[in-house]
Amino acid sequence: MKTVEEAKYAAETVDLTKVYRSGAYKVYALRNVNIKIRRGEFLAVVGPSGSGKSTLLNLLGTLDQPTSGKILIDGFDTSKLSGGELARLRSQKIGFVFQAYNLINRTSVLRNLELPAMILGVPAGERRRRALELLELMGLRKEAYRKPTELSGGEQQRVAIARALMNNPALVLADEPTGNLDSKTGRSIFELLRKLCHEQGATVVVVTHNLELASMTDRIIHLRDGVVVKEEEVKAG
Amino acid sequence: MNPLEIFRYAFEALRERRTRSILTILMVLIGAALMTALNGMNAGMENFVLSSFSSLSPNSLIVVPGTSSVTLDAHDVTLLKKVSGVDDAVPFIQGAAILHSGVKTLRVMVAGFDQSKINLLYPTAELEEGSFISPYDSTGMVLGSKIAMPPGETRPFAWVGKVVTAEYKHTSIEPSGQIKREAVKRSFVVKGVLKYTGAPGFANVDRSALVSLQAANSLFKRGSHYDGIIVITASTDLNSKVEKEILKLYSGNVMVISPKAIVQVIEKTMAGFTTFTVSIAMVSLMVAAVGIITTLFTSVMERTREIGLLKALGFKNWHVLVMFLSEALIVGIIGGSLGLVAGYFGAHLLLMRPVQFSHSAALIQPLFEVEGLVFVWLFTLAISLLAGFYPAWRASKLNPVEALRKE
Ligand SMILES: Nc1ncnc2c1ncn2[C@@H]1O[C@H](COP(=O)(O)OP(=O)(O)OP(=O)(O)O)[C@@H](O)[C@H]1O
Ligand SMILES: [Mg+2]
C-alpha cells in the first residue's frame, strides 16, 4: 500500500460509475469518470443541474458507495475499507464544506471548530490551539466565543471552511459553498479557498454553477449527464 | 472518539431543548418517585403490622371464649396445661381505664397477669426501675414508659412510689333489663417503670399499666373470669396440633388465635398488596418510557442534518448510537435520582400524621432499604436505556447523504 508521501494524487477516480434505480428505470448519475486531483490543486466542477456534480463529491467524500469503479484517497483504495474505517478516513483525510454551512448553532464557533479534532481524539489543549490558529487565519479570532447564528453568511461559511481544515485533510470538498451568498461574498470565499490551496497547501474541489467564480480556480471539470465532457486548465492571472 | 466527549455532546443537545427535556425528566421522576414511595410505605406498613403481632412470641396461642356462654377460669388453666405439647398457660384480664395522678389524667390499657411470665407476653419488656409485682399484690402497678413519661410532656405523669387511681366505667344489665353504669375506682402504688420497647401496636406495652391478675379482676369486675389464656407451646411446630387439641377439648366453643398464623397471613396479604401498588408505579414508568421514545424520535427527526454532518466528520454508527443512548441515560439518571429523593420525602410526608386506632395512635414510618433504592434507581436507568435504544438505533442507521440533504 502506498503511503501519504508516495501518493501522487490527493484523490483519484478510476472508471467511477454510479447508477440510481427507480423501479425498472436506471439513472446513470456518473458514467466511467476518471479524474486525478493533484495535491495543492484548486479544482472546480461545473455542469447543469442533474449532471452528477453532487454525486461525484459524495463519492469522493466516501459518504456513498459507487456502483462500479473505485476511488483512491491519498493513495488508499476506499473500496476495501469497512464502514468504521471509512469514518476514520473521513475524519483524518477529508474536510466538507456545505452550501448550508451546517454549523451546530447551540454552541460556540470555537467548539464547532474543535468538533472534527474531538472526533479524531486530539487532546483538548491541542485542538483549541489549532482552532484559534485557524480562526486567526480566517480573520475571525474575535468571533471565537460567539454563536454561529450571530455571524453573517460569509462569516459562517468561513467558520465552516476552518472546520473542514481542522484535521489537515488531504482533500477539502465544497458543494456549492457560495450558493447561499451574494456575489461579492461568494468571490471573497473563492479567494480564500484559492489562498488556502496556494499558500497553505490544501487541496480543494469545489462545485459551482457560477462560471465566473470557477475561472478563479486552477482547473475546471465540465460534467454533463454523468460524463466528463471537458477539462480546462485556467491560466494564471 | 472518547465516549465521555460523546456524553458531554449529548448533554449539550439536551440542554438546547430544555423544556422538552425537563418534561421528559419529570415523567421519569414521577415514575421513580411513585415506585420509591409505594415501596417504602408498603414496607413500613408491613413492618408496623408485623411488629404489633410479633411482640407475642411465635410459640404462643391465645385462647379466648368463643361464645358468651363460655367462661374461662382457674380450672381451664389447669386443663390447658395438661394438653400435650403445652408448656405453660397464662391467664389475663385487660381493659381500658382512666388513670389519675394528682390533677393529671391519662387513658391507658390496664392488663392483669402473672408478671413473672411477662416475657412470654412481651419478650422485649424490661424494667427501667423498681420491681415487678407478685400475683398476690392487689395494689401494685408497673407502668409502660409512655405512661410514666407521656410523649411531649416535660414532667413525668407518675413515678415509683406515687399513688395513682384507676377508674373504670362498668356497664352491666340488671335482671330487670335496665342498663346500669357505675364507676369503679381502685388505688394503686407504682412499683416499677418499664423501659421503652418501641414496639408499636394494639397491645402496646409502652402505653399499658400492668397489675396483678386479681387486681384486674377486681377493677374490671370480671368475677374471676379471664378474658383469655395464653398457651405457650413447647415449639412452634406443635402450634397447629395443640390448636386442634384445644378446639376438640372445648368442642369448638373457644377461639384459638395463633400470632404466627396471623403474621403469615399478613405477610401474604402485604406481598399481594405490594405487587399491586408497585405495578401501578411500573405503569407510570412505562408511560415515561414512551415519553423518552417520542422525545428522542422528535430529536432524531429535527437533528437529521446534524447526524449527517457528524457522520461526514467521522462519527461511526456506534458513536451516533451512544450519543442518543447517552441522552436517554442522562434523562434516566436525573429523573431517577430526583425521583428517589422525591419518593423518599414524599412517603415521609404522606405518613406524617399518626394513624388512629381504638386505644392509641401510632406513627407508621416508611421503611427504605438500600438495596430497594438501588434497585429502583437501576431499574429506572434500564427502562430509560431500553426506551432510548430504538430511536438511537434508527439514528445510527441514517444514510449520511440523505440526512445532509434534508431540509
Ligand atoms: N438518491 C437518489 N435517487 C435517485 N436518483 C438520484 C439520487 N440522487 C441523485 N439522483 C439523480 O442523479 C443525477 C445526478 O444528481 P446530482 O445531485 O449529482 O446532480 P447535481 O449535478 O448535483 O445537480 P444540482 O446542480 O441540481 O445540485 C440526477 O439525475 C438525480 O436525479
Ligand atoms: Mg448538487
pLDDT, tens digit, for every residue of B237-247?
Answer: 898 899 999 99
SS (H, E, C) B295-341: HHHHHHHHCHHHHHHHHHCCCCHHHHHHHHHHHHHHHHHHHHHHHHH
**Helix, strand or coil, per DSSP, at residue B70:** coil
Cα distance between residue B256 and residue B239, in whole Å? 10
The CA A55 to ligand 1 mean position distance, Å, reads 6
- Give helix A109-120 / helix A83-93 axis angle, nearest 10°: 130
H-assigned helices in A35-144: 53-60, 83-93, 109-120, 124-138
B178 has a chain A CB within 8 A of its CB: no
Nearest residue of B to residue A122 by CA position?
B1
Closest to B44 in 3D by CA, of B382, B354, B393, B351: B351
- Work out the widest C-alpha separation in chain A, in whole angstroms: 55
Q: Is the domain of B334 the same as that of B401? A: yes
Pairing of strands B127-130, B140-143: unpaired
Pairing of strands B361-362, B355-356: antiparallel
B234 has a chain A CB within 8 A of its CB: no
For residue A24, the distance in angstroms to the closest alpha carbon of chain B comes to 22
**Sequence-separated contacts (24+) of B239-242 with Cβ below 8 Å:** B239/B59, B239/B61, B241/B85, B242/B61, B242/B83, B242/B84, B242/B85, B242/B86
Nearest residue of B to residue A106 by CA position?
B16
Q: Is the domain of B355 the same as that of B291? A: yes
B246 assigned to some structural domain: no
**Helix, strand or coil, per DSSP, at residue A229:** strand
B87 has a chain A CB within 8 A of its CB: no
Give the residue, by CA position, lying nearest to ligand 1 atom 20: A50
Q: Is the domain of B84 the same as that of B229? A: yes
Atom index in ligand 1 nearest the CA of residue A52 equals 18
The letter for the amino acid at B90 is V
Question: Does any ligand 1 atom lie closer than 6 A to the CB of residue A27?
Answer: yes
Q: Give the DSSP per-residue string, B154-200.
A: SS-S--TT-EEEEEEEEEEE-TTS-EEEEEEEEEEEEEEEEPP----
Q: Is the domain of B110 the same as that of B183? A: yes
A:2-41 residues touching chain B, CB 8 A cutoff: none
For residue B313, the distance in angstroms to the closest alpha carbon of chain A comes to 5
Chain A contact set for B310 (CB, 8 A): 119
pLDDT score, position B119 = 80
pLDDT score, position A5 = 53
Per-residue pLDDT of B316-368, as tens digits, reads 999 999 999 999 999 999 999 999 999 999 999 988 877 655 444 567 888 99
* Number of domains composing chain B: 2
Ligand nearest to the CA of A227: 1
The CA A51 to ligand 2 mean position distance, Å, reads 8
**B95/B190: higher pLDDT:** B190
Question: Does any ligand 1 atom lie closer than 6 A to the CB of residue A53?
Answer: yes
Q: Is the domain of B226 the same as that of B100? A: yes
B343 assigned to some structural domain: yes
Question: In this structure, are residues B231 and B246 in contact, taking their beta carbons and an 8 Å threshold?
Answer: yes
Q: What percent of chain B has pLDDT over 90?
A: 60
Last residue of a domain, one of B215, B234, B253: B234
Say whether B314 and A90 touch across the interface (CB within 8 A).
Answer: yes
pLDDT score, position A169 = 94
pLDDT score, position B236 = 84
At a CB cut-off of 8 Å and minimum separation 6, what does B166 contact?
A: B97, B98, B99, B100, B110, B141, B185, B186, B187, B188, B209, B219
CB atoms within 10 A of CB A121: 11
Q: Is the domain of B221 the same as that of B286? A: no
Cα distance between residue B403 and residue B166, in whole Å? 87
Per-residue pLDDT of B359-382, as tens digits, reads 445 678 889 989 999 999 999 999
CB atoms within 10 A of CB B23: 12
B363 assigned to some structural domain: yes
B103: Cα separation from own chain's centroid: 36
A61 has a chain B CB within 8 A of its CB: yes
Last residue of a domain, one of B234, B252, B279: B234
Beta bridge partners of A18: A30
Closest to B331 in 3D by CA, of B4, B53, B7: B7
Is the pLDDT at B184 greater than 80, yes or no?
yes
Say whether B314 and A104 touch across the interface (CB within 8 A).
Answer: no
Cα distance between residue A235 and residue A210, in whole Å? 18
Closest to B229 in 3D by CA, of B33, B18, B65: B65
Say whether B314 and A91 touch across the interface (CB within 8 A).
Answer: yes
Cα distance between residue B270 and residue B263, in whole Å? 10
pLDDT score, position A236 = 66
The CA B281 to ligand 2 mean position distance, Å, reads 53
Rg over alpha carbons for chain B, rounded to the nearest Å, is 32
A116 has a chain B CB within 8 A of its CB: yes
For residue B301, the distance in angstroms to the closest alpha carbon of chain A comes to 15
Q: How far is CA A72 from CA A55, A230, B135, in A?
A: 16, 22, 106
Pairing of strands A204-207, A36-38: unpaired
| Per-residue cell: B221 | 369486675
Say whether B404 and A102 touch across the interface (CB within 8 A).
Answer: yes
**If you average pLDDT over every residue of chain B, what do you get?**
89
B242 assigned to some structural domain: no
Cα distance between residue A180 and residue A99, in whole Å? 6
pLDDT score, position B402 = 95
Q: Is the domain of B29 the same as that of B65? A: no
Question: In this structure, are residues A208 and A57 in contact, taking their beta carbons and an 8 Å threshold?
Answer: no
Chain B contact set for A73 (CB, 8 A): none
Give the residue, by CA position, lying nearest to ligand 1 atom 5: A20
Phi, psi for residue B166 in degrees, rounded to 5: -100, 135
**Helix, strand or coil, per DSSP, at residue B219:** helix
Atom index in ligand 1 nearest the CA of residue A18 equals 12
Each residue's pLDDT tens digit in chain A (237 positions)? 445 455 689 999 999 999 999 888 999 999 999 999 999 999 999 999 999 999 999 999 999 999 999 999 998 999 999 999 999 999 999 999 999 999 999 999 999 999 999 999 999 999 999 999 999 999 999 999 999 999 999 999 999 999 999 999 999 999 999 999 999 999 999 999 999 999 888 999 999 999 999 999 999 999 999 999 999 998 765
Say whether B316 and A87 touch across the interface (CB within 8 A).
Answer: yes
Q: Which domains does chain A have, with CATH numbers?
A: 39-63+82-233 (3.40.50.300)
Say whether A90 and B316 touch across the interface (CB within 8 A).
Answer: no
DSSP 8-class letter at A234:
P
pTM: 0.76
Give the residue, by CA position, lying nearest to ligand 1 atom 31: A50
B207 assigned to some structural domain: yes
B92 has a chain A CB within 8 A of its CB: no
| Per-residue cell: A210 | 457560477
Q: Is the domain of B41 the same as that of B128? A: no
Closest to B95 in 3D by CA, of B224, B216, B235: B216
B117 assigned to some structural domain: yes
pLDDT score, position A2 = 46
A106 has a chain B CB within 8 A of its CB: yes
B334 assigned to some structural domain: yes
Q: Which domain holds residue B85?
A: 60-234
Q: Is the domain of B297 the same as that of B341? A: yes
Cα distance between residue B216 and residue B211, in whole Å? 6
pLDDT score, position B358 = 44
Give the residue, by CA position, lying nearest to ligand 1 atom 1: A20
The CA B158 to ligand 1 mean position distance, Å, reads 98
B316 has a chain A CB within 8 A of its CB: yes
Q: Is the domain of B49 the same as that of B162? A: no
Q: Is the domain of B99 the same as that of B191? A: yes
Closest to A172 in 3D by CA, of A198, A206, A139: A206
Last residue of a domain, one of B189, B218, B234: B234
Q: Is the dihedral of CA A165, A167, A172, A175 positive or negative?
A: negative
Tell which of A18, A115, A127, A159 to mutate to test the B interface (max B CBs under 10 Å): A115
Question: Does any ligand 1 atom lie closer than 6 A to the CB of residue A55?
Answer: yes
Q: Is the domain of B312 the same as that of B380? A: yes
Question: In this structure, are residues A227 and A35 in contact, taking their beta carbons and an 8 Å threshold?
Answer: no
Cα distance between residue B381 and residue B336, in whole Å? 7
DSSP 8-class letter at B113:
S
Mean pLDDT of B208-225: 92
B312: Cα separation from own chain's centroid: 59
Cα distance between residue B171 and residue B174, in whole Å? 10
Question: Does any ligand 1 atom lie closer than 6 A to the CB of residue A227?
Answer: no
At a CB cut-off of 8 Å and minimum separation 6, what does B179 contact?
A: B171, B172, B173
Is the pLDDT at B99 greater than 90, yes or no?
yes
